A and B are shown apart, each in its own frame.
Chain A
Amino acid sequence: MYEVNYHRAGSLDEALKLLADADDGKLIAGGQTLIPAMKTRLAAPSDLIDLRHIAELTGIAVAGRTVTIGDPHVRHMGTIGGSLANNDPAADYPAAMLALAATIVTNAREIAAADFFTGLFETALEEDEIITAVRFDAPERAGYGKFPNPASRYAMTGVFVALDGKTVRAAVTGAGDDGVFRSGELETALVTDFSPSALDGVSVPDDALMTDIHASAAYRASLIVAMAKRAVTMANG
């Protein structure tokens, strides 16, 4: 890791000032992505501004079902805001936010999840904008099906489904060329019958899916349907 100056911000205003004053400052919350990226020198910020001790950023109340995601030691440090701001194409929370039609609240404005994720590791956030909260209505039913990469445990494909009245939203992570996206094929099949068997025979086009050393686009297309079935089973459980 390259040398870095660490600052612990006590308030949102102080964090914004520290960020503005830094040459190449980065905000750090849990650091569960940023620190590993700095260790491999993929990221080399001049300054780190720690958000963990800002009272305004704690106490998010989330009602509804609990979704268990990943490694507990990482979960104890990692934050939803950090995961959303980073928008890793294989992260779990972006799919949840999109399927729950969540609102991402920042120090400056409110952004609908549908407008927030703009590409691989890219979001609608401005340079001087900090996520302060996320807000969503607890759906009637929701579930998440994930095929983790056996080594990294990141999603090789993850599907989050949410049923709310007559609306079904199905968001896919880990598979899209441009990051998280909603699948019309899954939603159309599930809106008339919210059951795993409704997805029998459904196919998802693979032309905008990733191919890498872990899986081909065609395999990911097949995983999307398989993980959607698991997600619906969990939601109906």
Chain B
Amino acid sequence: MTEVSMLVNGRTVSGAVEGRTLLVQFLRETLGLTGTHVGCDTSQCGACTVHMDGRSVKSCSILAVQAEGSEIRTIEGLAEGNALHPVQAAFKEHHGLQCGFCTPGMIMAATDMIRRHPEGLDEATVRAELEGNICRCTGYHNIVKAILAAAETMGDGEAQAA
């Protein structure tokens, strides 16, 4: 067993893991952060998407020891108290989900996508960028609408702040 330590949602956490422990197992089983889901377990569905050092990664394809010393953000770390993150609010407003299983990964992917496209997003870009996130219910339509709406809200917010 190896002791690992990392910053998760702004809090320093540590725990003993095996070499083969996946980051998603550490998050869910050691830290109890079960918002991050395991969908396919074959690296394709993206339900386990979290941010590592600010960029979206699949936590089922990374060992916990590889994340040693890094900064992790999960779906639990997005809202500010009771105020939903703009992407979470947009998914609620536009009903960007049905069963909800893929939603944490979709939202973590969307927040990273919006960050990487400060020039704004269009539908084709959003659909292309969602290549690594699979939804089996919605047909993606409302997910795309929610991401476009959130990108607009967040862009406006930055413009006002500037």
Q: Which residues of A contact B (CB under 8 A)?
A: 1-6, 8, 28, 31-32, 35-36, 38-40, 48, 50, 52, 68, 70-74, 76-77, 151-153
Contacts and interface: CB of A to CB of B under 8 A. Distances in A.
A73 B49 contact: yes
A45 to B, nearest CB: 10
Given A31-B61, A74-B58, A3 B18 contact: yes
A4 to B, nearest CB: 4
Contacts of B62: 31, 35, 77
Contact of B57 (A1, A40, A73): A73
B61 A35 contact: yes
Interface stretch (B63-71, B77-85, B95-103, B151-159): B63-71
For the residues of B in contact with A, the DSSP-based class is: mixed
B56 A72 contact: yes
B19 interface: yes
B122 interface: no
B46 A73 contact: yes
A77 B20 contact: no
A237 B112 CA distance: 28
B51 to A, nearest CB: 9
18 contacts: A3-B19, A4-B20, A6-B65, A6-B66, A28-B66, A31-B63, A32-B43, A35-B22, A35-B61, A36-B42, A38-B20, A70-B132, A72-B112, A72-B116, A72-B132, A73-B132, A151-B44, A153-B131
A3 B18 CA distance: 7
Contacts of B112: 72
A50 B66 contact: yes
B2 interface: yes
